[in-house]
Amino acid sequence: MTRSGNPHPGSGRLLRLAIGACLALSVAALPGCDARVREIRQRLPDDQLPLFDRGSQLAAPCWACHDFYGTQNRIGPHLSGLFGRRAGESTFGAYSEALRQTGVVWDEDTLDRFLASPQRFAPGTTMVSPGIANPADRAALSFYIEQVTR
């Protein structure tokens, strides 16, 4: 065990490498999603487009670990049908017990709190995001996720 209490001394470096690889893969995954996202965007009223576009920018790294359309689980669960679903309940088999035990149903409020700080929301969650401090950015990402995962 290291002084930090981590039983795997190189795991932090490995985690950073894995996240980097996922982000690189997300760039390759995005073109396949573009047509569907464009279709969703075209249905939105003009006044919602800036919020959707900002959310789309913020969601780019999320695609690395999450399929928003429900066609596959990746490192993280697919997000299709997220709003209205209980945390830890989908076909994804690797949810952390911490997330399952929250008992929350995903909606704008619970997603906002989770996106602010996944570790504070569900201590022990395996979600590696440090969170999003800016409330306007969280609102934009939440709006985008709600639109794309319907």
What pLDDT, in 10s, does the model give residues 21-73?
A: 444 444 444 434 578 888 999 999 999 999 999 999 999 999 888 999 888 88
Tell me how far apart the alpha carbons of residues 29 and 75 are, in angstroms, rounded to a whole number. 14
Q: What is the dihedral of CA 38, 109, 139, 115, to 10 degrees?
A: -90
Tell me how far apart the alpha carbons of residues 92 and 95 are, in angstroms, rounded to a whole number. 7
Show the tokens assigned to 139: 């609102």
Q: Which whole number is the average pLDDT over 82-98?
A: 88
Question: How confident is the model at residue 18, as a pLDDT?
Answer: 47
Question: How confident is the model at residue 33, as a pLDDT?
Answer: 56
Highest-confidence segment of 68-72, 97-101, 123-127, 141-145: 141-145
Please provide the average confidence, as pLDDT, over all residues in the chain: 82
Q: Map out the domains of the chain with their CATH numbers.
A: 11-148 (1.10.760.10)
Confidence of residue 20 (pLDDT cuts 50, 70, 90): very low
